[in-house]
A and B are shown apart, each in its own frame.
Chain A
Amino acid sequence: MRILLVEDEPDLGAAVEEHVRQAGHAVDWFQRLKLADAAMSTISYDALLLDLLLPDGRGLDFLRGLRARRDAIPVVILTARDQISDRIAGLSAGADDYLVKPFDLDELIARLNAVARRYFGTTSTAQQFGPVEIELEARLARLDGAEVELTAREWAVLEVLARRPNAIVSREQIEDALYAFEQEIESNAIEVYISRIRRKLGRDFVRTARGLGYRIRS
């Protein structure tokens, strides 16, 4: 997934960015709402980790703005505000989850995966695509029950496809997922990774929609 992190505390932001990246997601980290807003206008993020008190505004207002323009991106609020009323205000503003600082980084990843699962409509941790079984959170892929080794980049591409089963995923969306590993995406990089995935999980596992993108069928 490509994650947008908005956190003004540098040490916390850096640690979260690193941990989320190590969990296999691409992360764009901003310390100002204005910059985050600009990034969201050009990049399609899969989830937003949002602090509430930022130097240039309140995270809740930013979130309300997102929901007002019908942006359904999954949002996890990261805040030091620990009261129930704060939590209710956050959830009412449209947050999908609410994590109070200090939090365990593994807990953060679990929450992130949970909201993404809900957002993409995959309630089960294990997904079946014909002979292929994928467990996104455990980062496991099996073909006919046998575990298949995938690289981090291959996982990034597979995850984008698996989170939207049956839907066509554009090249740009896949490029956004690969952004965590490569600042510059080679023109044929997508085809290379798709080809490797087909080789490991079956030729018909990933279908090409000419001129539109790729998809996998459940």
Chain B
Amino acid sequence: MGYSLVSRLIWLLASAMAVLWLLGSVTAGMLTVFEVNERLDNALVEVAQRLLPATEDALSAPQVMDARAQQLVATLNPKALAYQIMAPNGWVALRSSNAPAVPFTPPVLQRGFRDVRHWRVYTQPAAAGGYLIEVAEPQMHRSEALRRAIGLAVLPLLLFLPLSWLMIRWAVKRSMRSLIRLQREIGQRDGSNLTCIPELPMPSELVPIHTAVNRLLDRLQRALVNERQFAANSAHELRTPLAAVQAQMQVLAAQLSSTAHADRAQRIVAQIKALSNLAEKLLQFSRAEAGLALSRERVDVVQLLDILMDDFRRLEGVDKRLALSWPGQGSFMVLADLDMLGIAVRNLLENAVRYGAADAPIEVCLDDEHNCLRVSNGSEVVPRDVLLTLKQPFQRGTMQGAGGGLGLAIVEKIMMQLGGTLELASPAAGRVDGFEVRLVFSARATQIIGAAGATVPANAG
């Protein structure tokens, strides 16, 4: 089973979109983290710089400095930021209310950022006196800010993902609509419908396929018609002179009946009949080789058997031996070429009459349970190794008869083209001897129509 082009395109495009979305999200997240950190760090630097003038009063007037610092910080974010003004010996000279009493970091006269437990700290040396200004922001606050920023950047993309999948699906299906119509049209073509595909609105990429398929269908149709015509003409051209020779020879044999040449004349008549039979088989073989069994129509096998069995019943000693068993009573319909299926069934009946034991019945059975037609005749058990060779052309096995050895090869070719199989069995089913041939039709090509006209789906065989 092949894959669906539409599904594959949808999944490929959706996967590519998801990967791109992931890359975009990661990039957006990284940029957001970078930008937010930079902004928040800048805020720390800004607060530290605003506190810088306040440190000038640190020694002389600590209350003034405190007031100044409070005023400055109030304009910023007193809940998020804390500050400490630290003496060179590590004593916290001044701090915001939310700052701890102990220094954020050990006093190091170095400007810069540090991450300590729970805080992001910026250290700024004061202008004089070796004092340090440390402005800190709780890590939790920063993490929350980052989470919010990343969420705002990525969430819209997350919503966009299923939407983009739906859009891709719609776009692909819409684009593939003409291809699907072309696919449906081609899918409807089979042995019973070889008409050209009509003009369809389609993209330029599909036009060559449409043209090529139509050209192929036209060639196939013409080839089948030509083959059929050739087969019919060949049959006519070959059969008519053979008929004339046989008839003339039969008249002559009748005229010679009381002479010494009568026996020879009868032998010639017999040879002509054998030659006619061989010519018929070769014509049937060439028809099967030409693929004429590929065409399809609804064929009622019951009616077909009526016509064919009527022919065989006229043969001496056959009428009482030949019986049809069809428990279904109604029609047994198969999709096949009527003439080619007729050739197949005729060959089976011929073989049964020719090779079957003269005192044993010939049973023709339609089996709707297994979608098959069985023809069995009386005979000794055919060894398995012989059975395997019987489908080969010009093989008669151990059987004696006037056949050309082509019958089963013809039947097998026809059944292959019908999508069915030819099965041989010996002993016949339910017997200790005999020979049985089965034409097994595909369940899809078989339909049982009951006696009352009701259609019954065939069982999968």
Contacts and interface: CB of A to CB of B under 8 A. Distances in A.
Contacts of A9: 240-241, 243-244
Interface centre among A9, A83, A87 (most CB of B within 10 A): A83
Contact of A105 (B247, B276, B280): B247
B243 A102 contact: yes
B272 interface: yes
Interface in A101-160: 101-107, 110
Interface string B279-295: 01000000000000000
Given A19-B254, A84-B342, A88-B307, A100 B247 contact: no
Given A12-B240, A15-B247, A15-B250, A102 B276 contact: yes
Nearest to A51: B240
A63 B224 CA distance: 29
Interface in B198-248: 232, 235-236, 238-248
B307 A16 contact: no
B342 A15 contact: no
B9 interface: no
Contacts of B236: 53, 80-81
Q: Chain B interface mostly helix, strand, loop or mixed?
A: helix
Contacts of B251: 15, 18-19, 105
Contacts of A81: 232, 235-236
Interface centre among B236, B243, B314 (most CB of A within 10 A): B243
Interface centre among B238, B248, B272 (most CB of A within 10 A): B248
Contact of B247 (A16, A22, A83): A16
User: Chain B contact residues (Cβ within 8 angstroms of A): what range?
Assistant: 20 to 34
B345 to A, nearest CB: 9
B317 to A, nearest CB: 15
A14 B245 CA distance: 11
Contacts of A106: 250
B17 interface: no
Interface residues of A, number: 27
Contacts of A16: 247
B339 interface: yes
A22 B342 CA distance: 35
B240 A82 contact: no
Nearest to A106: B250
B388 to A, nearest CB: 30
A41 interface: no
B250 A82 contact: no
B318 interface: no
Contact of A85 (B235, B247, B308, B339): B339
Contacts of A15: 244, 247-248, 250-251
Contact of B239 (A14, A22, A85, A102): A102
B247 A11 contact: yes
A103 B254 CA distance: 16
A16 B236 CA distance: 18
Interface in A160-180: none
Nearest to B337: A85
A102 B248 contact: no
A71 B307 CA distance: 25
Interface in B137-195: none
A83 B243 contact: no
B339 A84 contact: yes
Contact of A102 (B247, B254, B304, B342): B247
Given A80-B236, A80-B240, 7 more contacts: A11-B245, A12-B248, A16-B247, A19-B247, A80-B238, A104-B246, A106-B250
Interface of B: 232, 235-236, 238-248, 250-251, 254, 272-273, 276, 280, 304, 307-308, 314, 338-339, 342
15 contacts: A9-B244, A15-B250, A80-B239, A80-B243, A81-B236, A84-B307, A84-B338, A101-B240, A102-B276, A103-B246, A103-B247, A104-B246, A104-B273, A105-B247, A105-B251
8 tightest A-B contacts by CB? A15-B247, A84-B342, A101-B243, A102-B243, A80-B239, A11-B244, A12-B244, A83-B339
